[in-house]
Amino acid sequence: MPKETSRKVAFISSHLPRRCGIATFCNDLITNIAAAGGKSFTPLVVAMVARHEHQYSDPVKFEIRKNVKNDYICAADYLNFSHIDMVSVQHEFGLFGGDAGNYLNLLLKRVNAPIISTLHTVLDDPDPAQRQSAIDVCDMSDRVIVMNERGVEMLRDIYGVNPEKILLISHGIPDLPFVDSSYYKHKFGIEGRKTILTFGLLSRNKGIEHMLKAMPAIVEADPSVLYIVLGATHPDVLRHDGEEYRFELQRIVEELGLQDNVMFYNQFVGDERLHNFLCAADLYVTPYQNREQLTSGTLAFAVGTGKAVVSTPYWAAEELLSEGRGKLVGFNDPKGLADAIIEIVSNPRQLSRLRRCAYDYGRTMTWPMIGKKYWKLFSKKTATAPILTKTFAQKVEGASLLEIPEPSLDHLRNMTDDTGLIQHAKFMLPDRNHGYCTDDNTRAVVAMVKYYTQYSDAEALRLFNIYLSFICHAQREDGTFRNFMGYDRHWIAPEPAHDGLGRSLWAFGAVLGRPPLPELVPIIKDFFDKSAPHIPHLSPRGKAYSIFGMRNYLTQFPGASDIKRHMHAAAEHLVELYEQNAKPDWQWFENILSYDNAVLPHALFEAYLAMGNEIYLEIATKTSDFLLENTFTGDHFSFIGCNGWYTYQGQKAQFDQQPLEAISTVMMCRGAYEATDDPNYLKLQKKAFDWFLGDNDLSIPLYDFRTKGCGDGLERNSVNLNQGAESMLAYLLSLLNIIESYSPTPGNEHENNTTIQPQQNTKD
């Protein structure tokens, strides 16, 4: 006998106990493939998780947080190291993070095994992001499975997918007997009643209100009718809107006097209880409101168990109920629903015919049959025909970030009260004697925007609101900014010159570029616009930070002429400083390398990216290379020390080295890479970050893995143990910039071949 093919298949999907249709589908699919493949089939699930609310068990081996881009890259590495034979993707746009779910592409581009994608939704009028995301998934898949003929046609005609790559495998249904519903009604105490069922997770697109409005006419025709709405509210709906929709439905029931004819079961039921409900029902209704629904597990279940079905004409229903297998009525049409249901319940012969026709059709799509089809596909020696190869031009060899610490908000939370971020600390204890400063709160806003973009964490949003409120309060009526506030919440005056206005524009721009809440855009635009006229009067570093903010402003409002003029003037001033001070052996903007140096060339890289002026790129490249030559030893970074700095033809101060230099260098290298596509900048960016982890002149980490804080500087013989706000944010912003560099948004990323080498003692 030929040796059985053994297959280790990784499923990328949501999974039980998460409550969603894809999770149930994946569980049923694995169970039935296992029945077909026996010991030759080994499943491994990479579970998509929206929140850490579930405890998973086998076969779940890895979890991806929906909005954390790096998790997708780490998952690909995990699968590559797990010796899998194949990847099965259960694709639904909303399941994955990013624009139209495009974070999934980070994983698909990196994984080595053949990919078979089952598409649960195919749109006939996708927006550009949805179209590109779907095309990318299909391009990177060796086979694409859809569940009905319309899906095949749409992939071919709308998305240009090679027809030979497409397979049609129906949605599975339970293999239940054709039974007399009366036998099961006693389980629910509804003997003698005509029973109508709708089941599934509750949300507004289900159209239950239209069925309720149809019920008075149905009850008048047959007072015994009972309509059961079975299913818990969808978890995503519950998080955002609570039980608002269910309460609205219950009010309709009360207003129409339907309390004796409508029953809500607010439960997520298991298979056995669901099967009992299906067997007890005489008729099944799906009054869904979204025409562009290509699959419906609940409708497939109802057809397969031999229910007479009345439905709105969404795509899945049109195909499943064709050839007399059910009745279709228009969308948002309670009268049409009532007429169709009355006709069926008053005509036993028609009811019986519809049930038998549906049940017979369902025999072709029972889960055991579907499991065998998938196993036949998975167990082939090669899952693809010779012409069906991945058409994606190049895999992204982005770095896995498994070897760097997970970003933590612990110490940031420790240093924050309801006013803002406290400036200084004695070791890890907030030092209230020094109060707050605008500079630190602006950095904190930028950090929380980046953190929330990557992790969609409610705690980051809470902290973000505190910091943003602080810097908004710091703005004077004339658009200038106060910087220092005592712990008593009184602003300190007089105060020394500072870069608070430039950094505030950086923070405001970060919010405009990636608003955590879209409602903030008009509010923050007003704050930005009030301060923009002061840009010409800022220091060089203030102008640099304002350029960062203006570039983000222009991503939200690309036609803003006044902001373009301010950016041009600020960049030209940096060019003028360079031309006044640069010498053959001193390619710099000033006659001294002092503090926060890298923001100056970084600003010109950003100005070049925004405006395309080659002079900006030329000077940014010369000055950044000069700075790197004077701070990178070839092995590690040794930043300019604040005890004397480095004047032209003077002696470079080695200590104290400040975290501010590391973060500005990390950001500069990121900007340089975006402007030049030179991957060496990414390597230098990572080396600058490694300064925090001990790759420095003393080989001592500044980052404290216990407190999640960062020492205030590298001194001659040790690390400054105080863990203030500036140093902590320098570390956190550096880490978040590294994560952005190596887990970019698909479609916008720079292809790079940089590989981060594993380091010791860097795991959180």
Q: What domains can you pick out in the chain, each with its CATH number? A: 7-168 (3.40.50.2000), 182-364 (3.40.50.2000), 410-742 (1.50.10.10)
Read off the pLDDT of each residue in 326-332 and give the average, rounded to a whole number: 92
Can you give the pLDDT at residue 630? Answer: 96
Can you give the pLDDT at residue 268? Answer: 66
CA neighbours within 13 Å on the CB side: how many for 215? 32
Can you give the pLDDT at residue 3? Answer: 54
Q: Which residue has the higher pLDDT, 278 or 14?
A: 14
Q: Which of 118, 95, 116, 93 is nearest to 169 (CA)?
A: 118
10 Å Cβ neighbour count for 755? 14
Instruction: Assess contact for 195 and 282: CB atoms under 8 A.
Output: yes
Read off the pLDDT of each residue in 264-271 and give the average, rounded to a whole number: 73
Can you give the pLDDT at residue 291? Answer: 84
Q: What are residue 228's DSSP bridge partners?
A: 197, 263
Provide the pLDDT confidence category of residue 323 given band limits of 50, 70 and 90. confident
The region, left, alpha or beta by phi > 0 then psi within -120 to 50, assigned to residue 31 is alpha
Residue 298 has pLDDT above 70, yes or no: yes
10 Å Cβ neighbour count for 381? 5
What is the percent of the chain with per-residue pLDDT over 70, rounded to a whole number? 91
Residue 214 has pLDDT above 80, yes or no: yes
Residue 255 has pLDDT above 50, yes or no: yes
* AA letter at 503: R
Read off the pLDDT of each residue in 160-176 and give the average, rounded to a whole number: 90
| Sign of torsion over alpha carbons 378, 379, 381, 385 | negative
Instruction: State the Cα torsion 80-81-85-88 to the nearest 10°.
Output: -50
Residue-wise pLDDT for 426-485, tens only, equals: 999 999 999 999 999 999 999 999 999 888 888 999 999 999 999 999 999 999 999 999
Peptide bond into 656 cis (omega under 30): yes
Residue-wise pLDDT for 11-23, tens only, equals: 999 988 887 889 9
* Pairing mode, strands 719-720 and 713-714: antiparallel
Cβ partners under 8 Å of residue 374, min gap 6? 29, 32, 33, 36, 88, 169
Q: Tell me which range, 207-211, 366-370, 615-619, is most confidently predicted by mean pLDDT.
A: 615-619
Residue 756 has pLDDT above 50, yes or no: no
Q: Which of 538, 514, 509, 534 is nearest to 524 (CA)?
A: 509
Average pLDDT, the chain: 88
Q: Which residue has the higher pLDDT, 54 or 748?
A: 54
Q: How many whole angstroms separate alpha carbon 648 and alpha carbon 671?
A: 26
> From residue 279, how far is each of 192, 195, 608, 683 by CA, in Å?
14, 10, 67, 63
Residue 530 has pLDDT above 60, yes or no: yes
- Tell whether pTM > 0.85: no
Cβ partners under 8 Å of residue 755, min gap 6? 397, 399
Tokens, residue 592: 């001294």
Can you give the pLDDT at residue 744? Answer: 53
> From residue 231, how far is each of 108, 227, 268 by CA, in Å?
34, 13, 5
Read off the pLDDT of each residue in 415-421 and give the average, rounded to a whole number: 96
Provide the pLDDT confidence category of residue 290 given band limits of 50, 70 and 90. confident
Q: How many whole angstroms separate alpha carbon 407 and alpha carbon 525?
A: 29
Give the position of tokens 């003037």.
569
Kindly state the helix (H) or strand (E) to which residue 646 belongs, with its residue range. strand 646-647
Residue-wise pLDDT for 400-410, tens only, equals: 444 567 889 99
Can you give the pLDDT at residue 397? Answer: 39
Peptide bond into 216 cis (omega under 30): no
Cα 140 to chain center, whole Å?
20
Q: How many whole angstroms separate alpha carbon 336 and alpha carbon 356?
A: 23
10 Å Cβ neighbour count for 39? 8
Read off the pLDDT of each residue in 209-226 and give the average, rounded to a whole number: 94
Q: Which residue has the higher pLDDT, 457 or 223?
A: 223
Can you give the pLDDT at residue 184? Answer: 81
Instruction: Assess contact for 599 and 623: CB atoms under 8 A.
Output: no
Give the position of tokens 């991957």.
679
User: Which 3 state secondary structure label does DSSP give 749?
Assistant: coil
Kindly state the helix (H) or strand (E) to which residue 235 belongs, with its residue range. helix 235-241
Residue by residue, DSSP assigns 361-420 as HHGGGBHHHHHHHHHHHHTSSSSS-TT-----S----PPP-TTSPPP--HHHHHTB-SS-
Read off the pLDDT of each residue in 561-588 and give the average, rounded to a whole number: 96
Provide the pLDDT confidence category of residue 2 given band limits of 50, 70 and 90. very low
Can you give the pLDDT at residue 484? Answer: 95
Can you give the pLDDT at residue 388? Answer: 36
Cβ partners under 8 Å of residue 572, min gap 6? none
Would you say how long the chain is, in residues? 764
Q: Which residue has the higher pLDDT, 726 or 496?
A: 726
Can you give the pLDDT at residue 752? Answer: 39
> From residue 642, how far is each of 260, 596, 659, 660, 715 by CA, in Å?
80, 10, 11, 11, 10
